[in-house]
Structure 1
Amino acid sequence: MKLKSCVKGFFVFAMLFVTSAQCQQLVEKRVFSTKNFVTYGGKTIADVSVGWESYGKLNQDKSNVILITHYFTGTSHAAGKYQHDDVAAGYWDAIIGPGKAIDTDRFFVISIDSLANINVYDPNVTTTGPASINPDTGKPYGLTFPVVTIRDFVNVQKLVLESLGITNLYAVAGPSMGSMQAIDWAVTYPNWVERMISVIGSSESDAWTTAFLEHWATPIKLDSKWNDGNYSSVNAPLDGLTASLMLITQNALTPEFFNQIGKEQLDYNALETGPLNDINTHHSIVEWLRSRAASRAKTMDANSLLYLVRACQLFLAGHQNDINSAIAKVTAKSLFLPASKDLLLMPYHARATHQKFIAHKKVSTIIEYEGPLGHLEGVSGVSQHAKHIEAFLQE
C-alpha cells in the first residue's frame, strides 16, 4: 500500500503502525444464485447469478440496512476498494464509509449487480444476461434472453436481501437508473422501505426519454459484427458499442464540461490542421471522447446495453398504467436530488415526481444540484449533497 496516499510529511512515520484498513475500506464481492426466476414479463430464467458487496455490519435485528441501486453503466461497486492499490474506489465512496454521510459505523450498506449488467467482462462483476450461457443450448443467450425490466432488478435484489434474513430497508438510494429502482422499491414494496433517495432520476420514461434512449442502441445495431445479436466475444461489435458509449458519455455531461476539456487539456480549435487536411482525421475532442469510450467498451457487452436501454424505456414506477395509483401506495419519506444542468434525465422528471408525492400527501423533499457535470453530478459530484443525505438519514 502507498502510505503517501493517506498522510503527508510527519504523519507517515506514525502510519507505519496503523492498519491499512483504516486508510481505505476493503470490500469483497460475493455471489447470489437462484433458480427459475420469473420475470415481470412472465418468462423464466433457469439460472440467475448476481454479484453483491456490502459495507458496515448488520445489526442484531437487521434494521440498519441501506440498499444502493446502481446506474446504467455502473456495478455494485458503490464504495471502498477490492485491493489497496486499486486506481479508484467505488463510485459513491465520497459518501459511503465510516463517518461519512451514509455512515458504515451505523449502517449496513449493500449493493447488487443488475441483471444484464453491461460490465460482463469485468472480473468483479457477476450478472446473468444475454452474454450468459443458456443451459438449454450451451451457447450464449443473445437476443433469446428474456426482456427484463427495472422491476426484475428490484425483485432479484429482494431475493438477495431475503437470503440474508433482511425484510426491511432503512433506506434505498441510487442515481439515474438506480433512482428508477429506488422509486420502484418504494411503490412496489412500501412495507419494506422507510426512506427513499432518488438522485438524478425519474419515475417514468416519458416519450422524450424513450426516444432519446433509442439513440444509444442504434450504433450497435448498425455494426455489421452485431449480426442480430449473434456474435462471439472475440468478434464483438466493438465499433458500435464504442459509438454508443460516446453518445452516453456526452449525453451525461454538459457543453460547459466539454468546452473546458477542449480548452484546458486538448488545445481544441475548430480549424485544427488534421481535420482540415484529411476527412478521416478527427478533432482532438472527438478523439478524446472516442478513446475513453473504446477503453470502457473492452469490459462491456453490446447486447447487454440493448437490454438495459429497453429496461429503462419500459420504466413506469409501480409498472402499472396509472402512476398515481402506484405513488399512492408509498409510505417512505422521500428525497429527490436532481441536477439543474442534467441533459439526460432533466430535472423536470424529479420535480414532477416530487409534486405527485406532495399531491398524495407524502413526505417529500427536493433539492437541486448545481455544477458543470450535468447528469454526472449525481455520481461524481454527489459529495456536494452529503450534508442533505446525512440529515435525511437522521430523520
Structure 2
Amino acid sequence: MSSFEFESGRILKDVNVEYSTMGFPKYDEDGNITNAIVFCPTLKGERSVLANLHNALTMDNISNDDEFAFIRDKKYFFIRIVSLGSPESCSPSTTDLKHNFPNYTFRDCVNFKKQFLKEKFNLDSVLAIVGEGVGGCEVFTWACEYPDYMEFILSMNNLAKLSGTSYIFFKSMESVLESNDKIYSDVYDPSLSKLVVAVNKMLFLNYLSRNMLSNLSRDELDALLDNFVEDGLFRDVHDLKYLCDCLLEYDVNDKLSNIKAKTILIAIEGQFLVNVEKEVLPLENAIDDVEVMVIQLDEGEFDNGESYSSVFKIFSFLNEYGVE
C-alpha cells in the first residue's frame, strides 16, 4: 500500500502487505465479491490447527474428498493476509525502524487489513473472518469494531481479552525483553539473538495442552521445544516486543454486545493458559448468535503436518451449523 496511518496519527509510506488467495471469487451484479473469507494467521506457523486446514485444502487428493467439496465446487474465496507487525508484512524488522516503529493495537491491525482489502479487491465487506490465537484477537476486534463488515466469524483458541494467566505470561515476557538494553540500540547486538531464543521457549508454552504436558516424556518435550525454537529463529526481537505490547493492551470484552455476525468459538480442551470452563464457555452468554465447540487436540497434531483430525471436526461442525 502507498501508505498506512496508525491510530496514533503516525503514517508509514510504501507499506508491504503479504497475502495469498485460494479458491475462486464470485461476483454479484454490481461486480462485488460475495464469497470472500479472510484468514488471520497466528504465530504458530505449521503448528496450528487452522494452518493444517490451509494445508488440507491444498492436498492433491482434494478433488476426491467429500470433506472439501466446498473448495472443489469453487464455493469460497480465501484471502490470507499477514498481519501488521509480522515480518512478512509491515513490521519493525522489515521497515528497519526497529524500536522506532509506531506502537500499534489490534484495531490498527484490523484497519491495516481493511484498507488492503479495499485497495486490492474493492471489498467493503466479506462473508467471513477466521483466525486462531493472535489472529483470533483480530477476529474479535474486527467483529466488535465493524460489526456490519462480515456475516460469520470463527475464532479458535482465543478470548475477547487475555486470560489472567496469559496476562501474567506476557507481562513476564515483557520483562524478559526489556531486560536487555540493547533492544533500544540502533546497532544490532548478538545478545539479542539469545533473547529471541529465550522468548521462543516461553512462547512454546502457549501451544501445549495440559494433556500433552502430562503424557509426553522429557525427551519428547525437548524435541518439540527444540523444533519450535528453531522455527522461530527468524523472528526479530523488535517484532516480538511490539506484539507483546499489543497483546497486553488487548481487551474488547466490553464490546462483545456489538457483534452481529454468526459466531463460532473453538476451544482446545486442557489448554495451558486458558480455562475453557471459566473463560470460554461464559462467552455463550455475551454474544447473541454464538456456538462454542470444545475439541481435544491430538498429541501428534502439534508436530505432524499430516494430522487433520481437528480440521475434519471443524468441517463437520460447520456443516451441522449450516454455514451456507
1:128 pairs, out of 74, 85, 90, with: 90
Change (3 A) 1:345 1:143: farther
Q: 1:82 corresponds to which residue?
A: none
Q: Distance in 2 between matches of 1:78 and 1:258?
A: 18
Q: Distance in 2 between matches of 1:296 and 1:369?
A: 26
What's the CA shift string for 1:114-147, capped at 9, x where partnerless?
A: 1111xx3xxxxx31111133xxxxxx21211111
Displacement after TM superposition at 1:167 (Å): 2.0
Change (3 A) 1:236 1:176: same
Q: Normalising by structure 2, report the TM-score.
A: 0.82
Does the CA-based 8 Å contact 1:154-1:181 persist in structure 2? Answer: yes
Secondary structure of 2:14 counterpart: strand
User: Partner amino acid for 1:303?
Assistant: H
Q: Distance in 1 between matches of 2:279 and 2:10?
A: 30
Higher relative contact order (CA closer than 8 Å, sequence separation 6+): 2
What's the CA shift string for 1:174-216, capped at 9, x where partnerless?
A: 1111111111111211221101111111111254432222233
2:8 pairs, out of 21, 31, 41, with: 41
Larger Rg: 1
Change (3 A) 1:234 1:73: farther
Q: 1:178 corresponds to which residue?
A: 135
Does the CA-based 8 Å contact 2:127-2:150 persist in structure 1? Answer: yes
The structure with the largest helix share of the pair is 2
2:250 pairs, out of 309, 312, 315, with: 315
What's the CA shift string for 1:334-392, capped at 9, x where partnerless?
A: 111111211123323332322211xxxx2111121123559969x97443322112343
Change (3 A) 1:249 1:56: same
Q: Distance in 1 between matches of 2:226 and 2:187?
A: 23
Determine whether 1:53 maps to 2:20.
yes
Displacement after TM superposition at 1:156 (Å): 1.1
Could you tell me the percent identity over the aligned residues?
Answer: 16
What's the CA shift string for 1:138-174, capped at 9, x where partnerless?
A: xx21211111111111111111211211222111111
User: Partner amino acid for 2:272?
Assistant: L
Does the CA-based 8 Å contact 2:197-2:233 persist in structure 1? Answer: no
Alignment of 1:218-237 (within 5 A): 218-223=175-180, 227-230=182-185, 235=190, 237=192
Secondary structure of 2:178 counterpart: helix
Q: Distance in 2 between matches of 1:45 and 1:178?
A: 23
User: Partner amino acid for 1:60?
Assistant: Y
What's the CA shift string for 1:15-48, capped at 9, x where partnerless?
A: xxxxxxxxxxxxxxxxxx231x222333322332
Does the CA-based 8 Å contact 1:219-1:244 persist in structure 2? Answer: yes
Q: Distance in 2 between matches of 1:162 and 1:38?
A: 15
Change (3 A) 1:316 1:294: closer
Aligned length in residues: 305
Change (3 A) 1:96 1:154: farther
Secondary structure of 1:249 counterpart: helix
Q: Distance in 2 between matches of 1:390 and 1:232?
A: 53
Does the CA-based 8 Å contact 2:92-2:101 persist in structure 1? Answer: yes
Q: 1:68 corresponds to which residue?
A: 39
Unpaired segments of 5 or more residues in structure 2? none
Q: Normalising by structure 1, report the TM-score.
A: 0.68
User: Partner amino acid for 1:175?
Assistant: E
Secondary structure of 1:198 counterpart: strand
Q: Distance in 1 between matches of 2:6 and 2:234?
A: 26
2:284 pairs, out of 354, 363, 380, with: 354
